[in-house]
Amino acid sequence: MSKRDYYEVLGVSKDASADEIKKAFRKLAVKYHPDKDGGDETKFKEANEAYEVLKDAQKRQRYDQFGHAGVGGSSGGPGGNPFEGFNGFGNQGFEFNFGDGGLGDIFGQFFGGASGGQRGPVRGRDVETQIQLSFEDAVFGIERDLSFEMEDECPHCHGTTVEPGHELKTCPTCQGAGQQTRIMNTMFGAIQQAVTCETCKGRGKVPEKVCTVCKGRGTERRNQTVTLKVPAGIDDGATIRLKERGEATANGPKGDLYVHIRVKAHKKFTREGDLILSEQHVGMVEAALGTEIEVETVDGKVRMKVPAGTQSGTDFKLSGHGVPHLRSDRRGSHIVQIIVDTPTKLSKKQRELLESFGGAKKRSLFT
């Protein structure tokens, strides 16, 4: 689905002033804000995206010149999250997990850790780490081996806590209920309270014979190596989730591994969505007469024509040399801004030529 023109979204003309753009956005923001009755989150986000571009003079100039392709609009839009809802690359996904706890867990902490019924398998602990990538590795993607020391499944009992050849049996303390009843004397009188069984830890079963290697823990702490596939186009601040690559636990699923991505700044390039931006300096004479220059991109050097009469601050687009899109083989563009250098020191001959040029230009205006 193609995006609507940003001026159309805000309901302003293409020559609207910055103040008119701001007023138009505020009006739409109030009208469509999701927290308001009758609000529309989709239209609110659309208006916000348009405003983020048109309020910025440089972004607005590129949008007027190149359209949505000039402002990185293909990677989720300004202020958006291009990884939102993305889940791929095997067991890797760009999402956060807020845990399995709920009100039952909260009440369980106050009332002895048992809110009724036998507890299910306990999930392993989540693990977090951070890696730093170069600008190019973030653009093209990379595989990285990560090493950790953490709890892993016991190789002898495979996490069951039971010595091989033996089985789990019903807990003799709670008779398989996973809970014990405790009487507490309070100011309101005696209260009967259900608490987690101390013998089986709420599982309802205990080993016939405890594993001789892990001593019934079901896990061992040791070094592990995880291969992380970083997709092309990932941005600074993204988080990759690897399901069940965190710490192990007895008789339960592993936790998740969260890898936070930091991208080093580049000396020449900056990134804006799926765009790569850079500056290229040319001399005053070359800009006036036109020239061809070599531009450095993430793909190597590319020849680019600078037409005669190019003004300082003019943007040129190199299609297909930007950041790859996560969900397709397409890439954004590389925007090159031309900076025209005015000489600060002139020889006598150069000064005479410029003065001659200036005089000829004045005469042409009055003839």
Q: How far apart are CA 32 and CA 38, in angstroms?
A: 7
**pLDDT digit string (tens) for the chain, length 367 residues:** 578 999 999 999 999 999 999 999 988 888 888 777 778 888 988 999 999 999 999 899 889 988 888 887 544 443 334 333 343 344 444 443 333 444 444 344 444 444 444 455 678 999 999 999 999 999 999 999 999 899 999 999 998 899 999 999 999 999 988 888 888 777 667 788 888 888 888 888 899 999 999 998 899 999 999 999 999 999 999 999 999 999 998 888 999 999 999 999 999 999 998 999 999 999 999 999 999 999 999 999 999 999 999 999 999 999 999 999 877 789 999 999 999 998 888 888 878 787 787 666 555 554 5
Name the one residue in this structure whose structure tokens are 């040399």.
321
Q: For 182, phi and psi rounded to 5 degrees?
A: -130, 140
Given CA atoms 312, 313, 319, 323 in this order, what sign does their dihedral have? Answer: positive
Beta strands 334-341 and 275-283: pairing type? parallel
Q: How far apart are CA 204 and CA 178, in angstroms?
A: 4
Write the single-letter amino acid at 221: R
DSSP character at residue 90 = T
> Which pLDDT score, from 0 to 100, does residue 317 have?
95
Q: How far is CA 151 from CA 49, 239, 241, in A?
A: 45, 22, 18
Q: How far apart are CA 40 and CA 29, in angstroms?
A: 10
Residue ranges in 100-237 assigned as alpha helix (H)? 103-110, 135-140
| Tokens of residue 330, six digits | 């397409």
What count of Cα atoms within 13 Å lies in the side-chain half-sphere of residue 88?
10
Do residues 276 and 140 touch, judged by C-beta distance below 8 A?
no
Do residues 123 and 100 touch, judged by C-beta distance below 8 A?
yes
Given CA atoms 346, 352, 353, 358 in this order, what sign does their dihedral have? Answer: positive
Q: How far apart are CA 120 and CA 124, in angstroms?
A: 13
> Which pLDDT score, from 0 to 100, does residue 85 have?
35
> Which pLDDT score, from 0 to 100, does residue 72 have?
74
